[in-house]
Amino acid sequence: EVQLVESGGGLVQPEGSLRLSCAASGFTVSDKYMSWVRQPPGKGLEWVSVIYIGGHTYYADSVKGRFTISRDDSKNKLYLQMNSLRAEDTAVYYCVRGRFEESSFYFDYWGQGALVIVSS
Amino acid sequence: DIVMTQSPDSLAVSLGERAAINCKSSQSVVYSSNNKNYLAWYQQKPGQPPKLLIYWASTRESGVPDRFSGSGSGTDFTLTINSLQAEDVAVYYCQQYYNTPLTFGGGTKVEIK
């Protein structure tokens, strides 16, 4: 059974840092396109970042230069390092598995999410 | 970036009736090389993460009831829920995966009338 469990969320001050973790089970993270998608309270979904099977990474313009996606193949985990946090980064952050087909990917499994609140 | 626009923002439908949600992309999401529409639909129930319903605009994910169907091509798409059930109350999102950044529509809230 595929499971994704996020951890590391919490309250952080503006300009602070936080690292989210996502523990995967039922599949191998390094065999999939893994993403982070966020959802501000009461609002819609925003794709944040992806790490490809080969290790290439891509980011939304809103987080480029501040967030870093990575994975630890030995632990089967995905991470999101978030620096220089802003109030507008407040959201539930979902760890999401991508299903790769025809040169692209869509999201087939989602974690329960981790809430990040940026506030002084 | 491809902008995804959903309509309506919300709709109330009687149990057993049909619900239709529209999604329009700011540019075509069809690749001419394979004639596939890079469009997915997700369902998000209150307090839960989104769940994949439809991909390639009209292919139902395994385990999704057949009352859910997707249609459309190019820039205009529709998610139809036939014979609405109480458990279908949710927010529905379309999403393009034609290119990066992957983008979502703003969501459509479906309620029972």
Give the model's pLDDT for residue B15: 98
Which of A104, A108, A115 best tests the B interface by mutation, with the highest count of B CBs <10 A? A104
Arithmetic mean of pLDDT, B85-97: 98
Do the chains contact at A108 and B52, CB–CB below 8 Å?
Answer: yes
Name which of A101, A60, A30, A73 is nearest B57 in CA terms: A101
User: Which of helix, strand or coil describes residue B24?
Assistant: strand
Query: Do the Cβ atoms of B9 and B106 come closer than 8 Å?
Result: yes
Nearest CA in chain A to B91: A44
Give the model's pLDDT for residue A83: 98
Q: Whose structure tokens read 């991508």?
A: A98
Q: Which residues contact A43 (CB under 8 A, 6 or more apart)?
A: none
Do the chains contact at A106 and B95, CB–CB below 8 Å?
Answer: yes
Size of interface A-B (CB pairs under 8 A): 57
Give the model's pLDDT for residue A4: 98
pLDDT tens string B3-58 = 999 999 999 999 999 999 999 999 999 999 999 999 999 999 999 999 999 999 99
